[in-house]
A and B are shown apart, each in its own frame.
Chain A
Amino acid sequence: DQQVKQNSPSLSVQEGRISILNCDYTNSMFDYFLWYKKYPAEGPTFLISISSIKDKNEDGRFTVFLNKSAKHLSLHIVPSQPGDSAVYFCAASDNQGGKLIFGQGTELSVKP
C-alpha cells in the first residue's frame, strides 16, 4: 500500500513558467514532509521541507504548500529553469526513528 503518492510520473513546462508538482498521502500520522531532487546517476538531494504546523514554506524560487485536511502537498517552482529538469521525490515522516516514506517521483522537464 503506497502511503505517499505522486500520481504524475512526468511533467513538461516551458522555461519561465510555473511548475507545480503534487503529492498525496494517506497516513494521518505523517507530520513532516520533504522534497528531494534527483539528477540522473546522482543521489537525491534535499530541496525544501515543511512541518504540519505550517501550511506554506518558501525558499527562493521554491515554495511548498501543505493542505493537511486534504492530505495533499505541492511544490511550486517559479520561474522554472532548464536546470530544474530532474526527478522530484516527495517524502513523509511520522518522526519514528528518522525514517522517510517516499513517493514514486515526478520527472520534470523544463523546455527552453
Chain B
Amino acid sequence: NAGVTQTPKFRVLKTGQSMTLLCAQDMNHEYMYWYRQDPGMGLRLIHYSVGEGTTAKGEVPDGYNVSRLKKQNFLLGLESAAPSQTSVYFCASSPDRGPLRPQHFGDGTRLSIL
C-alpha cells in the first residue's frame, strides 16, 4: 500500500544545476500538489494539478516548473537551482477538490543547494 512515493529522498546540488523531483501516487487521485517546507514558514504550495495534462501556480511558483503527463505522476523541475531553493519538498494528492478531503502526503525530498 504505497500511497504517495517521492524520488529521491535526499539530493545535494550545486548552484545552477538542474534536477527533477518525481512524485507517484497509486490511489487514482485527480488532484496533486507540490509544497515546500521551510523553518518557521510551514508548508507553502508551489504548483498543483487538477488532472492529467493540467498544471496551475500556487503561492511560490517562481523558479519551478511542473508536468502531469500521466495521472499518477507529478514532476517538479528546477531548471537552475539556487541556494534559496534549499528546502524539504512534499508531494500530496487528493481524490477531488472537496475542501475537507484530506490530502495524502509523501515522505518528502530533502534538497540542499550549495
Contacts and interface: CB of A to CB of B under 8 A. Distances in A.
Interface of A: 4, 6, 9, 31-32, 34, 41-46, 49, 51, 89, 91, 93-95, 97-105
The 10 closest A-B pairs by CB, nearest first: A43-B105, A46-B102, A32-B99, A98-B97, A102-B42, A102-B43, A93-B99, A95-B99, A104-B42, A49-B100
Contact of B97 (A41, A42, A95): A95
Interface in B30-63: 31, 33, 35, 40-45, 48, 50, 56, 58-59
Nearest to B50: A97
By size class, the interface of chain B is 20 to 34
Contacts, number: 69
Given A99-B48, A99-B58, A43 B97 contact: no
A9 B99 CA distance: 26
Contacts of A93: 99
A108 to B, nearest CB: 15
Contact of B99 (A41, A98, A105): A98
A94 B100 CA distance: 10
Contact of A41 (B48, B101, B107): B107
Q: Point out which of A42, A46, A51, A100 has the most chain B C-beta atoms below 10 A from its C-beta.
A: A100
Given A31-B99, A34-B100, A98 B94 contact: yes
